[in-house]
Amino acid sequence: MKALIIKISIFIFSIFSFQLLTGQDIHFSQFYNSPLNLNPGLIGGFKGDYRLVANQRTQWSSVTTPYATYGLSVDAKRIFSSPVSAGLSVYQDKAGDSDFSTLQIALGGVYTFQLGDSSQSISIGAQPAFTQRSINYNKLQFDNQYNGSFYDASLGNGETFGNNGRTYFNLHGGVTWNYEIAQRKEVGAGIAMHNIIKPQQSFFNEDIPLHQRFTANINGLFRISDKIDGLPHIIWQKQHKFQEIIFGGQGKYHLNKGNYKALYAGIWYRNSDASYFSVGMDYGNFHVGVSYDLNLSSLRVASNRRGGFEFALIYIFERYRPDLRRYKSCPDYI
């Protein structure tokens, strides 16, 4: 009986997943470590000159063919000392037995306004993008290929597919606000709209637009003690009939301020879907993040509550970084 329930769950999941794949955008659990995917207004939103971000996510390996998502982005802050920042991002997603693939390349720009004493800033970003989607029908199985006893790949599937892919132009936009209240104390917020022009995504001559995705997020950084900071974060996203709320946060433990070393640990909850844990580390200009999802949805019968791992790597390039010291040595002869 349990085996039957698992098979039914997998079947329902496969159908539901295809609907999600044709109607929802790429996203990461570590959204805070994938800034250009979260909000175009976050381009250039870091301390430094250049930022390189790499993301990788694998999920549902316990249920079906693993879904794999890769992301790579680079952005430059205040080009030629101007209020303009720019960024380039590339995302590749492959899902299911059919190798349903999504490749997105986006080039974005941001204009930042400083407010008051420059402790506050507002950034407005735009991100035009090109997306290419494809599917491999040869990896799918159809009822016409069942010969009465078993599946026979040599039999025709009885289907006519006029297209196995589509390329379309897209446009995203966003606004962010950041307030540096004091050292190790700041708050930020942002709103974004993806798929502004609602491009057609169907592989056939059907009117199936990619629905707009709305995102709102609030984040903070607060000093708790000499060694510990708290980083709370909440995000809300809506795309067509689907909504997502993630809330949680991380604790940051400073190992050595002078060498820019710190450890992170966090816990998050994604509504009616998963709870996940994250750890990370700062070492010099590197930041590494790892998270793991525990499935809490109705699919947990088939997944045995297992979700997937996600990895993030960030490197900040700086032209000059001051050497922070807790004290200054004096010569012996004084």
The domain tally of the chain equals 1
The Cα–Cα gap between 211 and 204 comes to 17
Query: pTM of the entire structure?
Result: 0.81
CATH of the domain at 148: 2.40.160.60
Residue pair 280/261 in contact by the 8 Å Cβ criterion = no
Q: Beta 306-317 vs 242-256: how paired, if at all?
A: unpaired
Whose tokens are 């402790």? That residue is 119
pLDDT in tens, the chain (334 residues): 444 333 333 333 333 333 333 446 788 999 999 999 999 999 999 999 999 999 999 875 555 667 889 999 999 999 999 999 999 999 999 887 777 899 999 999 999 999 988 899 999 999 999 999 998 877 777 777 787 788 877 777 777 776 788 899 999 999 999 999 999 999 999 999 999 999 998 887 778 899 999 999 999 999 999 999 999 999 999 998 889 999 999 999 999 765 679 999 999 998 877 889 999 999 989 999 999 988 775 554 444 556 688 999 999 998 765 555 555 555 555 5
| Amino acid letter, residue 119 | S
Domain presence at residue 125: yes
C-alpha 248 chain-centroid distance? 16
Q: Which two tokens stand for residue 302?
A: 């088939």
Domain presence at residue 322: no
The Cα–Cα gap between 242 and 282 comes to 35
**Count of C-beta atoms within a 10 Å radius of residue 165:** 12
Q: Which two tokens stand for residue 231?
A: 């980083």
C-alpha 5 chain-centroid distance? 32
Domain presence at residue 88: yes
Closest CA to 221 of 234, 235, 233, 210: 233
The Cα–Cα gap between 87 and 145 comes to 48
What is the span of the domain harbouring residue 195? Answer: 2-317
Domain presence at residue 84: yes
Domain presence at residue 326: no
Domain presence at residue 331: no
Domain presence at residue 329: no
Domain presence at residue 305: yes
